[in-house]
Amino acid sequence: MGKLEVCLMRYFIGYHGTSSVFAEKILRTNFIVDHTKVGWLGTGIYLFEENQELARSWANYKYSNSKKGVIRCEIEIAEEEVFDVVDPLGEHNKFFHAVRKQLIEQEIKKRNLQL
């Protein structure tokens, strides 16, 4: 008999803040991940879980000189595919801060900064 694999799924509502131009394109073509653009947590699509106002605030900050858009997304994703830094004591948060610290130290050394 084969091994039975159980895939735990996570369901949530996410909000993506962007410009209205990008929002219209996403609604026509879906999200397309550009692997040449690296965000704070790597490549991917960034969503605010259950918080439309944070998505709107991000769009206002990022696209201050253009119209904004917020896209509501119903998400069903394998638990193992989620990188969640909301829990300050969670493993993902600890990993993020360890990598962040390492990158900061590398930049300080590379630029020969005296802090």
Cα(15)–Cα(49) distance, rounded to whole angstroms?
6
pLDDT at position 1 over 70: no
pTM of the model: 0.70
Tens-digit pLDDT profile for residues 57-98: 999 999 988 999 999 999 998 988 888 888 889 998 999 899
The domain spans of the chain are 11-82, 84-115
Cα(52)–Cα(87) distance, rounded to whole angstroms?
19
